[in-house]
Structure formats: structure tokens, C-alpha cells
């Protein structure tokens, strides 16, 4: 459903993403891993329209979306979460999510948007009462809010950026289960970015590994663990 | 179903206040009516400014829209005999055009905060200087008088102040309605989101440019109408009193001091500026004009530091506590 080819992003003289190509199949969970600074979030920013590609193409459901503005891409059915949660602190939880439900798929019915928002909050396990504000939410709850907002736009493709960051071990397991149930119950295709392998490997169908902006591996999770280049990157045995 | 509606004391107070406002012109002396008309018209303009100002788009360019609104119908009337009923919309059209020409690039290139204030400040000054430079038709800094037509709906001129009082009252109420409409709409939440984090807002499908331009256009258009009515009411225009930095600064001061997050805040700001203006005039005589700007500047700083939500913000805080923060997550 998504086809990325030759995707490149240059910041000044620095190549953050270099000639990356991959396909995402409908209904799968694709893991996108790599050490910090390997270009994962930048890849998401390019797909979601927050950044313009320097070169390459991004096709979604047959149409080119590279360089489209972020709100159009969202309305086309691609939702993203931010690695560092970016809640609107002046708004309540339910308002945060209602905005996504209202604008994210060009609906124009506030009551319906509100209902979708309540569903999304219930799904991730956050309160939907009108008075809960975002201050005082912990890391796990903020990650859930990111997810609820993205889901409320009713995407067909979800870009989840480090949904496990800052969580403890049991929270990680629950977050992984949540992503898996989003895929199976809501039939949403997922690209899941994480800088550690960990629980991600249990849930994903396939995995892509980035290093220094380049794709160094694509295949099944169990093969990744034995791939010499991947282990080199992850075990820090690089000779440079 | 809903329980029988309790009588809301606020509604009762509102209706009583409106009745008083309607009865006012029949019982008050002309000078007092003059003051009230000014409060209503300025209150309308400040309300128009706060429609965008409350989202952090601090425009120092609204003097430009007011000036355009005042001069376009007056010039069309004096030179072409065009009725203000067409002249005012023409002014609105030009104001909206200016707002888009300045707003679009600002929003496109994310000119925000102080830089946005500076760019819009330049707009104020450009319009003021254009009016002054076109002295052959505008009378320059000496100002211009509209050709008088006696009592005339066609010319929108009324020697009897009560007519303008009625017009000002209706327009002011209309401004409050627009403010409320923006406040109640989901667009308000979208604009709050945009003012906090544009990129996150866009990622949720919000068309940031569209939302910003829309609120800017509404604000500029209303301000232009306010300027037009001022011109029609005074039947005398002076570039310094309806455009330029001084006027823009007064608008910002009044909206912030009165409280731009509350329906009646900008109107309270109008009370304050009119009282200040009249007070200064009485105390310092005619050479107070320079003093007024200095005093506005100082008061503005004091308000921003000590009372950022303005007088109405303080009153609202007394009336109801803030919304509660989230309870500690039970996980
Ligand atoms: N807007 C930007 N401007 C300049 N450099 C950037 C920008 N965004 C990311 N980078 C750089 O690109 C590299 C990849 O970043 P990122 O995609 O965030 O990595 P990660 O894989 O950890 O998500 C990093 O070295 C980062 O410093
Ligand atoms: Mg990242």
C-alpha cells in the first residue's frame, strides 16, 4: 500500500536518509529499527509530509504523496505519532483527540468527531471526561494520547514513532499488545519505529534496519538477529 | 430529557443591561451619548482584534484596516458620490486584500511572535504614510471632512447622535456574536492547537494556513467596518486618529488590558481607553497626544507582566476556578 523508492533527505551537507526504498504491504506491521540518529524519524517526517524529500518518491495507494502538505497526507489516511509527545496543553485530553477526529478525515460533524475521540481514548485506556487536562500525565499516558490522536483520524496506515520510549518493562509489553490489536481489530497497517529490538521483534511481521540513513537489512525478525551487519550495528562492534 | 431550565441570572442581567442600553439615548445628555458611542465602536474594533489576538497573532497592523475602512467610503463619497453602503464593503474588500497579502507570506514562512508584530507594524505605518502622502485627495495630515448631506440614510449621515448610537449598538452586538461564534466553534480549538504547535496540528489534518487566514480575514474585515463607522460618525477623518502605529498600539493595549479571552473584555478595554483619553484631555488640555502613547506603552507593559489575562480575566478567575489538571495516572 505504501511504496518508498530512492528516498533521500539532506540537511545541508548531511545525508540523514540516503536512497532508502521499501514496500509496505496492506495489513502488516513493519518494524523500522536502527540506532539513534540513523534516520528513522526523518523517514517518518518525509512520509507524513512534515519534511520535503530531497529526492525519491513516496507512493501511497497508487498516488505520489512526496512533498504534499502534512494535513493532506493525514486526510489521505496516514497518521503519525511523535517520538517526543506533542500534546496541546491548553486543551483537554478529549479536545486534543476530538480535533484529530474532526479534521483528520474531513468530517464536519462535531458530535460524531467527539464520539470517535471517546472511542479512541477508550481503546488506549485514557479518561474521556471533559475536564482532564494534559498536565500531570506521565510518559506512558502521553504516548497513549499520541496514539489516540493518530487513531482518531481513522488512518489506514499508522506511523508509530518509538511508542516504547520511556516506558518500563510491563508498560512496553502492554504497548506492544496494543499495537498488535490495532492491526488485527482495526485493520490498520503499521510502520513501527523503535531504536531497540526488544519486544518489537515479537510483534512485527517484517523488519527493516537503518544505519546512517541507509537500509542495511530487510527481512524476517528472526533473520535480523543473525545478520552480521545488524549485529555489528547493534553490538557496537563496528570498526570505523 | 432536560430538567426544566433554571433561569440563568447571567441571562437576566444581560437582558436588563440591553434594555438599559436601548433606553439610554432617550435619557442622557449628548456629551454622554458621544462617549457611549465611542465605547461601543472602539469596543467593536477591540473585539475584532482579539478574535485573532487571543491566538497569539499579535497584530500591530489593525490601524491599517481601520484607516482603510475609514478613508475608502469617505473618498468614494466625496469624489464619486458613491453611497457608503457600497463604500464600506469596498473598504472591507481592500482591508481583506491587505490582510491576505501580508498574512499569507507571514504564515507561509512562519513569521511569528515579535517578527509578526514588526511586519504588521510596518503595514500600519505604510497605510498612514500613504494617506498622508496622498494629500491632494485625502487632505494629508490636516484631515478631510465628508461632504455633508444632512439627515440621510443614503449618505449614512445623521446629525442626531441617537441614530449612530443605534447603529453602534447593533454593530457592537454583531461583533460580540462573531466573537462568540469563533469561541464556540471547533476552529477555536484548532487555532489554540496551531498557536501551540503548528506541526502537530498539521499532522492531525488541520489546514494551518486556512485556519489562520480565515481568522485574520474576519478580524480585518470587522476592523475595517469599525473604521468606516467611525469615519461616518465623526464626519471628519484625520490619519493620526484612524490609522498608524498609535491607533494600533491603542487597540492592542485595550484588548489586552480589558482581557482578550473574555467576551466583554475588549469592551471593558474600550471603557478604559476612553476614560483615559477623556481624563488626559481634561487634565493636560490639547497637548496630551504624545503623552497618551507613552502612557499606553507603560500601562501595556504593566498589564502584560501583572495581569496578562486582563481585567476580565481577573474577574473570571474570581468567579470560577480553573479546570482541574489530570489526576495522577493510575497505572
Ligand atoms: N531538521 C533537521 N535538521 C538538521 N538535522 C536533522 C534534522 N532532523 C534530523 N536531523 C539529523 O538527522 C539525523 C537522523 O535523525 P532522526 O531521523 O531523528 O534519527 P532517529 O533514527 O534517531 O529517529 C540525526 O543526525 C539528526 O541530528
Ligand atoms: Mg527518532
Atom 3 of ligand 1, nearest CA residue: A11
CB contact A108 to B (< 8 Å): no
For A18, half-sphere exposure in the C-beta direction (CA atoms, 13 angstrom radius) is: 13
CB contact A189 to B (< 8 Å): no
Q: In terms of CA atoms, which chain A residue is nearest residue B329? A: A137
Place of cell 494551518: B208
Query: Residue A13: nearest ligand to its CA?
Result: 1
pLDDT by residue for chain B (331 residues), tens digit each?
Answer: 455 566 778 888 888 888 888 888 888 888 889 999 999 999 999 999 999 999 999 999 999 999 999 999 999 999 999 999 999 999 999 999 999 999 999 999 988 888 999 999 999 999 999 999 999 999 998 999 999 999 999 999 999 999 999 999 999 999 999 999 999 999 999 999 999 999 999 999 999 999 999 999 999 999 999 999 999 999 999 998 899 888 999 999 999 999 999 999 999 999 999 988 888 777 777 666 667 777 878 888 888 888 889 998 888 888 765 554 444 443 3
Atom 8 of ligand 1, nearest CA residue: A42
Cβ-Cβ contacts under 8 Å, A153 against chain B: 204-205
The reply to whether A107 falls in a domain is no
Total tally of structural domains belonging to chain B? 1
Q: Which atom of ligand 1 is nearest to the CA of A193?
A: 23
Buried b (16+ CB within 10 A) or exposed e, B23-52: eebeebeeeebebbbbbbbbbbbbbbbbbb
Q: Which domain holds residue B205?
A: 28-242
The reply to whether A178 falls in a domain is no
Q: State residue B324's pLDDT score.
A: 45
CB contact B324 to A (< 8 Å): yes
Q: Are A8 and A55 in contact (CB under 8 A)?
A: yes
Nearest-angstrom CA–CA distance, B243 and B241: 6
Is the beta carbon of A88 within 6 A of some atom in ligand 1?
Answer: no
Q: Could you tell me the CATH number of the domain that includes residue A57?
A: 3.40.50.300
Segment holding B277, helix H or strand E = helix B265-284
Q: What are phi and psi of A9, to 5 degrees?
A: -135, 125
B199 with A70: Cβ contact below 8 A: yes
Residue A141 is nearest to which of B203, B324, B329, comparing CB atoms?
B329
Pocket test for ligand 1, best of A12, A39, A80, A214 (most atoms within 8 A of CB): A39
Q: What pLDDT digit, counting tens, does each position of B86-95 carry? A: 999 999 999 9
Pocket test for ligand 1, best of A8, A10, A34, A37 (most atoms within 8 A of CB): A37
Nearest-angstrom CA–CA distance, B196 and B54: 12
Q: In terms of CA atoms, which chain A residue is nearest residue B196? A: A88
The reply to whether B249 falls in a domain is no
Residue B325 is nearest to which of A133, A140, A171, comparing CB atoms?
A133
Residue B196 is nearest to which of A79, A90, A141, comparing CB atoms?
A90
Cβ-Cβ contacts under 8 Å, B206 against chain A: 71, 99, 103
Pocket test for ligand 1, best of A16, A47, A163, A209 (most atoms within 8 A of CB): A16
Q: Which domain holds residue A54?
A: 1-77+193-240
Q: In this structure, which long-range contacts are made by residues B201-204, counting pairs with CB atoms below 8 Å and at least 24 apart in sequence?
A: B201/A88, B201/A99, B202/A49, B202/A50, B202/A69, B202/A70, B202/A71, B202/A74, B203/A48, B203/A50, B203/A70, B203/A71, B203/A74, B203/A79, B203/A80, B203/A82, B204/A71, B204/A74, B204/A99, B204/A100, B204/A103, B204/A104, B204/A149, B204/A153
Q: Are A53 and A42 in contact (CB under 8 A)?
A: no
CB contact B48 to A (< 8 Å): no
The reply to whether B270 falls in a domain is no
The reply to whether A40 falls in a domain is yes
A99 with B206: Cβ contact below 8 A: yes
Q: What pLDDT digit, counting tens, does each position of A196-226 carry? A: 888 888 899 999 999 999 999 999 999 988 8
Buried b (16+ CB within 10 A) or exposed e, A199-231: bbbebbebbbbbbebebbbbeebeebeebeebe
The reply to whether B21 falls in a domain is no
**Beta carbons within 8 Å of A76's beta carbon, 6+ residues apart:** A60, A61, A63, A65, A68
Q: Which of B120, B7, B138, B14 is nearest to B64 (CA)?
A: B120
Nearest-angstrom CA–CA distance, B14 and B17: 5
Q: What is the pTM for the complete model shown?
A: 0.89
Rounded to a whole number, what is the distance in angstroms from the first to the last CA of chain A?
A: 38
How many interface pairs between A and B have CB atoms less than 8 angstroms apart?
100
Atom 5 of ligand 1, nearest CA residue: A11
The reply to whether A177 falls in a domain is no
Range with the poorest average pLDDT among A22-26, A40-44, B15-19, B61-65: B15-19
A157 DSSP β-pair partners: A78, A189
The reply to whether B199 falls in a domain is yes
B329 with A95: Cβ contact below 8 A: no
The reply to whether B54 falls in a domain is yes
Q: Are A156 and A178 in contact (CB under 8 A)?
A: no
Buried b (16+ CB within 10 A) or exposed e, A56-66: bebebeeeebb
The reply to whether A88 falls in a domain is no
Nearest-angstrom CA–CA distance, B111 and B106: 5
* Pick among A70, A72, A110, A111 to test the B interface (most B CBs inside 10 A): A70
Tell me the pairing of strands A78-80 and A55-60.
unpaired
Q: Which atom of ligand 1 is nearest to the CA of A83?
A: 23
CB contact B203 to A (< 8 Å): yes
Q: State residue B106's pLDDT score.
A: 93
Total tally of structural domains belonging to chain A? 1
Q: Got the DSSP string for A62-92?
A: TEE-TT--HHHHHHHTEEE--SS----TTSB
A75 with B205: Cβ contact below 8 A: yes
Q: In this structure, which long-range contacts are made by residues B86-92, counting pairs with CB atoms below 8 Å and at least 24 apart in sequence?
A: B87/B228, B88/B224, B88/B225, B88/B228, B91/B224, B91/B225, B91/B227, B91/B228, B92/B221, B92/B224, B92/B225, B92/B228
Amino acid at each position: 500500500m505504501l511504496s518508498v523508492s530512492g528516498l533521500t533527505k539532506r540537511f545541508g551537507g548531511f545525508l540523514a536518509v540516503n536512497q532508502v526504498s521499501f514496500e509496505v504491504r496492506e495489513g502488516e506491521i513493519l518494524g523500522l529499527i536502527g540506532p539513534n540518529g540513523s534516520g528513522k524519524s526523518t523517514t517518518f517526517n518525509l512520509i507524513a509530509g512534515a519534511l520535503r524529500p530531497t529526492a525519491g518518491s513516496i507512493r501511497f495507494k497508487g498516488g505520489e504523496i512526496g512533498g504534499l502538505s502534512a494535513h493532506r497526507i493525514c486526510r489521505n489516511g496516514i497518521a503519525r505519532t511523535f517520538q517526543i509527545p506533542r500534546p496541546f496543553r491548553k486543551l483537554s485530553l478529549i479536545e486534543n483527540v476530538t480535533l484529530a477526529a474532526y479534521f483528520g478525515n474531513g468530517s464536519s460533524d462535531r458530535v460524531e468527531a467527539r464520539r470517535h475521540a471517546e472511542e479512541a481514548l477508550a481503546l488506549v485506556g485514557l479518561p474521556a471526561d471533559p475536564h482532564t487536562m494534559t498536565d500531570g500525565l506521565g510518559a506512558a499516558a502521553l504516548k497513549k494520547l499520541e496514539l489516540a490522536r493518530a487513531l482518531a483520524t481513522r488512518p489506514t496506515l499508522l506511523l508509530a514513532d518509538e511508542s516504547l520510549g520511556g516506558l518500563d518493562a510491563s508498560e512496553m509489553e502492554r504497548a506492544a499488545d496494543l499495537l498488535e490489536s490495532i492491526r488485527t481489530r482495526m485493520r490498520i497497517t503499521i510502520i513501527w519505529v523503535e531504536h531497540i529490538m526488544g519486544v518489537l521483534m515479537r510483534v512485527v511481521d517484517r523488519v527493516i534496519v537503518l544505519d546512517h540513513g541507509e537500509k542495511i537489512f530487510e527481512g524476517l525478525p528472526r533473520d535480523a538477529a543473525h545478520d552480521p551487519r545488524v549485529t555489528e550495528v547493534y553490538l557496537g562492534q563496528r570498526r570505523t | 430529557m432536560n430538567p426544566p431550565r433554571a433561569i440563568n441570572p447571567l441571562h437576566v442581567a444581560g437582558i436588563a443591561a440591553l434594555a438599559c442600553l436601548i433606553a439610554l439615548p432617550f435619557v442622557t445628555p449628548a456629551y454622554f451619548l458621544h462617549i457611549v458611542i465611542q465605547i461601543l465602536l472602539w469596543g467593536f474594533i477591540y473585539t475584532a482584534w482579539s478574535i485573532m489576538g487571543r491566538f497569539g497573532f499579535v497584530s500591530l497592523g489593525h490601524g491599517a484596516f481601520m484607516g482603510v475602512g475609514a478613508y475608502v467610503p469617505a473618498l468614494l463619497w466625496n469624489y464619486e458620490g458613491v453611497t457608503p453602503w457600497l463604500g464600506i464593503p469596498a473598504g472591507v474588500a481592500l482591508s481583506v486584500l491587505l490582510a491576505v497579502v501580508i498574512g499569507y507570506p507571514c504564515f507561509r514562512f512562519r513569521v511569528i511572535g515579535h517578527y509578526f508584530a514588526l511586519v504588521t507594524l510596518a503595514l500600519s505605518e505604510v497605510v498612514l504614510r500613504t494617506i498622508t502622502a496622498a494629500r491632494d485627495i485625502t487632505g494629508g495630515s490636516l484631515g478631510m471632512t465628508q461632504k455633508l448631506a444632512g439627515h440621510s440614510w443614503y449618505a449614512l449621515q445623521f446629525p442626531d447622535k441617537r441614530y449612530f448610537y443605534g447603529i453602534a449598538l447593533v454593530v457592537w452586538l454583531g461583533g460580540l456574536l462573531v466573537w462568540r461564534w469563533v469561541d464556540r466553534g471547533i476552529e477555536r480549538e484548532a487555532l489554540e492547537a496551531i498557536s501551540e504547535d503548528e506541526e502537530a496540528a498539521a499532522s492531525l489534518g488541520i489546514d494551518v494556513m486556512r485556519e489562520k487566514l480565515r481568522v485574520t480575514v474576519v478580524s480585518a474585515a470587522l476592523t475595517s467596518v469599525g473604521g468606516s463607522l467611525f469615519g461616518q460618525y465623526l464626519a471628519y477623518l484625520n490619519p493620526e486618529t484612524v490609522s498608524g502605529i498609535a491607533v494600533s498600539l491603542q487597540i492592542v493595549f485595550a484588548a489586552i488590558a480589558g482581557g482578550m479571552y473574555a467576551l466583554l473584555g475588549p469592551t471593558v478595554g474600550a471603557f478604559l481607553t476612553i476614560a483615559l483619553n477623556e481624563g488626559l484631555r481634561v487634565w493636560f488640555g490639547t497637548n496630551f497626544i504624545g503623552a497618551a502613547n507613552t502612557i499606553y506603552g507603560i500601562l501595556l507593559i504593566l498589564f502584560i507582566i501583572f495581569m496578562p489575562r486582563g481585567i476580565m480575566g481577573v474577574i473570571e478567575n474570581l468567579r470560577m476556578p480553573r479546570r482541574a489538571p489530570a489526576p495522577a495516572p493510575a497505572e
